[in-house]
A and B are shown apart, each in its own frame.
Chain A
Amino acid sequence: MIAREETMRDLMRLAQLGDKQAYAVLLEQAGRWLTRFFASKISQDAVDDLVQDTLISLHRKRASYDPSRPFLPWLAAIARYRWVDRLRQTYRHAADELLDQHSENSHEDEVGAKISIDSLLHKLPEAQALAIRLVKIDGLSISEACARSGQSEPLVKVNIHRGLKKLAALIESE
């Protein structure tokens, strides 16, 4: 089931009022939406962890949702924050664990396209995005990323540092 903006907004409004039944449905739908949101860029294990982290953040920060505004851009901002936070931590995973991004998610809607992680990475200079993809997403070592990208070791490190900083500043941009 593909979550709809209006449905999730209504559920969140009810959840803010304390409606547990609506909240259970919301968490279920938000979990599915987040799984698709993260799936194309990280491994299944990391997706599960990030979805959990984001749902816990949704729970802790639910008062920060303004019911007069769309729900998915709020959820996406929370999800991006958690994702960039995770990127900043040192973690690796095998490239072959990447999910196929064209599974059940190929019909992501226009809103989804605007707020996806891809659109965030595309805002970075190419060299910074490449360094982050190779080291932080694909899990290559710095030296492997050097060989793959043609950048020197110091440049890869600088590009990762600057790119992550810029990503953090771009979390709410379309």
Chain B
Amino acid sequence: MPNSFDVSALVQDLEPVKPLRPQIPLLVSALLTVIATAIVIWLQGMRPDLLAGKPDEMFLIRAGVLLLLGGAAAHAVTAMASPSVGRSQNGWQMALGAAVLFPLAAIIVAMTGDTGPAFTAMDSGMRCLGYSLVGGLATAAPMIVWLRKGAPTSPERAGWLTGLASGGLGAFAYNIHCPFNDVVYIGMWYSLALVFCSILGRLIVPRMIRW
């Protein structure tokens, strides 16, 4: 222990602190996802099959994967605020593995020549990107605030995961409106939204959370 360093200054500065509880940012992100979904429904309307109470199977799978991916990545992000050697948060990798099936299936189907509305419904695709991004920004905010409070030791990874989590939750919000069930459309536009948000997260978040 170096003699020149005066620990008494730190001791005098001590104030009680509440240990970080990851449930708080997760609840706030979940609440913001619900609000984003409500705004999408208000501005764009709900899918007809959902309104009729008979949701399409593809919609259910897509919604489930997006929610699982967003939730698992958000859980990993909030856990990163409290570091510990030997602790791993790899649940998001499983969810990402499931999500990757969409672009893989899209490539296989597209190779047969059936691209569905993926290239003809560009307006809808761009709306998917836009809403996912805006919804993602909203859900990313509590995660970034949490990471700034905590001590994330891998800012770059935290950035990727924040982008992935917020992109997944933002895309889930738009998915309540999105009328398409075509796998090529989903594999292309939803993957683009997730990749776009992840890259933004990697570029923006690390510089905000370094300590």
Q: What residues of chain A have their CB less than 8 Å away from a CB belonging to chain B?
A: 15-18, 20, 23-24, 27-28, 31-32, 35, 48, 51-52, 55-57, 59-67, 69-70, 73-74, 76-78, 80-81, 114-115, 168-169, 171-174
Contacts and interface: CB of A to CB of B under 8 A. Distances in A.
Given A23-B14, A77-B83, A173-B85, A65 B19 contact: yes
A68 B5 CA distance: 30
A51 to B, nearest CB: 6
B86 A114 contact: yes
Contacts of B12: 20
A23 B9 CA distance: 11
B153 A51 contact: no
A117 to B, nearest CB: 11
Contacts, number: 125
Contacts of B14: 15, 18, 20, 23, 59
Given A16-B19, A63-B20, A78 B151 contact: yes
A65 B156 contact: no
26 contacts: A16-B19, A17-B16, A18-B14, A18-B15, A27-B7, A27-B10, A31-B5, A32-B1, A51-B1, A51-B5, A52-B5, A55-B5, A61-B151, A63-B19, A64-B150, A65-B82, A73-B84, A76-B85, A81-B83, A81-B151, A168-B153, A169-B157, A171-B83, A171-B154, A172-B86, A172-B153
Contacts of B111: none
Interface of B: 1-2, 4-5, 7-8, 10-20, 81-88, 149-151, 153-154, 156-157, 211
A35 B5 CA distance: 13
A144 B194 CA distance: 45
Contact of A66 (B2, B10, B19, B153): B19
B86 to A, nearest CB: 4
Nearest to A48: B2
B85 A27 contact: no
B149 to A, nearest CB: 7
B172 to A, nearest CB: 28
Nearest to B87: A172
Which secondary structure dominates chain B's binding surface?
A: loop
A174 B87 CA distance: 8
**Looking at chain A's contact residues, is the secondary structure mostly helix, strand, loop, or mixed?**
helix
Lowest 6 CB-CB distances: which A-B pairs, in order?
A18-B16, A77-B83, A31-B1, A48-B2, A61-B151, A63-B17
Q: Which of B17, B82, B151, B157 has the most CB of A within 10 A?
A: B151
Which of B1, B10, B81, B150 has the most A CB atoms < 10 Å from its CB?
B1
A123 to B, nearest CB: 12
A55 B10 contact: yes
Nearest to A77: B83
A28 B83 contact: no
Contacts of B87: 69, 73, 172
A99 B62 CA distance: 57
Contacts of B17: 16, 62-63
A34 to B, nearest CB: 8
B11 A24 contact: yes
A16 B16 CA distance: 5
B154 A174 contact: no
Contacts of B81: 64
Contacts of B10: 23, 27, 55-56, 59
Contacts of B8: 24
A41 to B, nearest CB: 16
A96 B209 CA distance: 37
